Chains A and B, each alone.
Chain A
């Protein structure tokens, strides 16, 4: 089955700096890569996603890049704000559906 690894497990940045979270996956059949943000005590919510036919996608301060050859994808948050503080999860899903395989999460703290 698919194995998704996520790094780092914790990340602290100063407000205004950029944050980068990286994930790798093992199954070349994976074709959909969402990123979820989970604030304390709340549910994970989709913030951005990318499909395997695209190399990069951007939505305001958030961008995701995908390298299919190397089987890794990354989340980039620019101009971080305190409200970006949360746990972020990457995930991968194969083209046979099956299930969403989640990374182990990154706890991001943005220091004002």
Chain B
């Protein structure tokens, strides 16, 4: 069973389009995250939710909007896609906000043409 699953794994789209990436975890964790990994492999936090509440919102353009319908799901919607949005987006979860390791999903590779 996949612990943290995200869909789609690959996404190729044109500039200006809107797209979503979905994430689900079956670990019973309270905290979920979105990370962006650019071409240089840097892992940068974007958002963190704890029990459906937004905890961390790094300096991310407001074209990016996370949504957590319940604590097992954290989706990422991106409006008006730009070339610089091309990256691998990783969803992750941890048992709670103060403890436990980070479990990553498989990643979603977004390519904006």
Q: Which of A56-112 contact B (CB under 8 A)?
A: 87, 89, 91, 95-100, 102, 104-105, 107
Say whether B97 faces chain A, with CB atoms less than 8 Å apart: yes
A73 → chain B, closest Cβ, in Å? 16
What residues of A have a CB within 8 angstroms of the CB of B101 in the complex? 34, 46, 49
Interface residues contributed by chain B, number (CB under 8 Å): 21
What residues of B have a CB within 8 angstroms of the CB of A32 in the complex? 99
Q: Which of A34, A44, A87, A99 contacts B90 (CB 8 A)?
A: A44
What residues of A have a CB within 8 angstroms of the CB of B98 in the complex? 95-97
What residues of A have a CB within 8 angstroms of the CB of B44 in the complex? 102
- Dominant secondary structure of chain A at its interface with chain B: strand
Known contacts A44-B43, A87-B41, A105-B42; A100/B102 CB under 8 A: yes
Say whether B76 faces chain A, with CB atoms less than 8 Å apart: no
List the B residue with the shortest CB-CB distance to A103.
Answer: B43
What residues of B have a CB within 8 angstroms of the CB of A99 in the complex? 33, 45, 48, 56
Could you say which of A36, A45, A97, A98 has the most chain B C-beta atoms within 10 Å of its C-beta? A97
A88 → chain B, closest Cβ, in Å? 11
State whether A105 touches B106 (Cβ < 8 A): no
Interface residues contributed by chain A, number (CB under 8 Å): 23
List the B residue with the shortest CB-CB distance to A34.
Answer: B101
- In the assembled complex, 25 residue pairs joining A and B whose CB atoms fall closer than 8 Å, in A order, are A34-B101, A34-B102, A36-B104, A42-B106, A42-B107, A43-B105, A43-B107, A44-B43, A46-B101, A87-B41, A95-B98, A97-B97, A97-B98, A97-B99, A98-B55, A99-B48, A99-B56, A100-B45, A102-B42, A102-B43, A102-B44, A104-B41, A104-B42, A105-B41, A105-B43
Binding site for A on B (CB under 8 A): 33, 40-45, 48, 55-56, 90, 97-99, 101-107
Binding site for B on A (CB under 8 A): 32, 34, 36, 38, 42-46, 49, 87, 89, 91, 95-100, 102, 104-105, 107
